[in-house]
Chain A
Amino acid sequence: MLLLAIESSCDETSVAVLRDGRILSTLVASQTALHAPHGGVVPELATREHLRNLPLLVQRALKQAGVLATELRAVAVTQGPGLPPALMVGLASARGVAMAAGCPLYGIHHIEAHLYSPWICPQRREMDWNAFIPNLALIASGGHTLLVHVSGAGRHQVLGSTLDDAAGECFDKMAKLMGLGYPGGPEIDRLAAGGDRAAFNFPRPLLDRASDDFSFSGLKTSVRYFLAQHPQERDERLPDLCASAQAAVVDVLVAKAVRAACRLKVSAITASGGVSCNRALRGALQDACTSQGMTLRLAAPEYCTDNAAMIGMLADWKIRQGAAPLALPAESRPRWPLQELAS
């Protein structure tokens, strides 16, 4: 089955073409440079860019895949959650393709797709279903931070999520306070490599609580107060500052993920979302899993951030499981809770 997948939930326009679950082409048009001067994603700008980028990207993806749009047998699109106008453009574009090609359209939950992106084998460019085992999934990005128990393919339960800022949002805000550019996560990651993670002691929010929820706004505030009291540290010890702030985020994410995995007696942890590209997080998760005798599946960097390949992969699996296509009245779902799909 030849499938076209479209992702436009935030500031990345992405298109992928898959045949029988294998990626033939995958493209991402990043808008990072466009939003950088504003210090964050501006929904209006993102939407205008999606509208311009999507036709070009689909054309290129089809060409790279060596297929014609008339050969498509299904179209999949991120239906939610995400920025309302950005989702709307993706859905309308996908619907236009699907109706013209006379094929069904499938709406995919963005976070659910992230749950399975660590199981995409980058070499074979298809899902490694044979290796799939029940796991604890950590999803950490600029818009989401969740712990999810994935008890089987298509079966999951949300254990906890952030009560305020997402981990990536916290990185961006801390970076801004430190005078760094946007996006803040990669900048902090880069500078932290030369710093001492124990130089400054920032709080590890909710780490002592039994809950699987997160809270990062207090950490950002702590960094703000610290810099107000010690402004010279920003200039003199920026790498230490980055490493210490990053360590606070990483420690919380890793400790809560491992604790939940142990409690649920699952033998694997997975991580996806833009923040899981962070080298300190990847290293700390690896160390923790090794010491606990757990398997770690990290999404490949190209499948960590928002991408249409993971949307297409999940759609392909769901179609084979008999999922129903979207009806014509269906609209985007900007606040679609993952719990709604739980089973």
Chain B
Amino acid sequence: MLTFIARRLLLSIPTLLFISFAVFMLLQLAPGDPMAQVPLTVPDAVKEKMREALGLGEPPLVQYWKWLVQVFWIEPKVLIDYLTASSTLFSWLPDTALYQGELRVISWQTRSPVMDIVVQRMPQTLWVVGLAYVVGVLIALPIGVYSAYRQYSVFDQAGTFVTMIGFSIPPFFTGPLLIVIFSVGLGWFPSIYDTTHEVTDWDSFVVQLQQMIMPVMVLALQTTAQISRYMRAAMLDNLGADYVRTARAKGLSEAVVVNIHVLRNSMIPVVTVIALGVPAIFGGAIITENVFKVNGIGQLLITALFANDLPMVMTLTFIFAVLIVLFNLIADVLYGVLDPRIRYD
């Protein structure tokens, strides 16, 4: 198992390098110029200096190498410095001063390090997207189990119809629809996610809950549709198996047979699907964040794209790629851990 994980981790390094290289070369073709906003009165020599300060003006391969160094060498140093200096968890360690003021990945929009902005935006995305995923999975599992247990019943037919709808209605339609119904028509929830809102007491917690309900539900609908389909299929595969007949024959109650014997076996493929879906939901959240004006990672990517902020786009795309590769690995490992019949050697 350990050798398998090690091999997969090693294999993911060239994959990630290739992806980052491809994206970097793609971005080199971008028509925009970061100096376009600079006034025309600025002399060309000064502009050239400014361009060099942003790390431009060198051959693309050199730029790519510098980007690699910045992301894999300088940014970790900043992170370690932060951890040992000001985080609560590791501040007992002696202060390391690894970061000596080298050039970090700089955003062309704000002229500040990309990673700082990403760290600022991360909590909103994680709260909304993460909660949506958990809610979606929690709704999906019982629906899938019960639809499979009562196959072709009214509940199953209705569940299939709802999951089909969840597959088919895109988030950029459900989002505005929910806003029209619940914030314009009924006035229950705000239509815009207020990131500056701080939870201090019960009332502000209720406000936070209200503004989170709609984006979470939009994202959760899609998760529910997918996961409950898989759950139903996996349960159906197992319900007809011989060991289920044995369990029933030895007099176990239906609840024990379904919830312990069948469910645990059916969860094996479903858990991997859940793991595989995590990066996809980050990507899908781009649209939902845009609809509800959540200023998370997806919204950051969109604004960076429109502002021609290539280092930001590059780094964010790379973060998405890392998430995908990482969760693919986690899914494979989970599969092996949960199912002892799978052998990776």
Q: Do A and B come from one complex?
A: no
Which chain B residues have a beta carbon within 8 Å of chain A's beta carbons? none
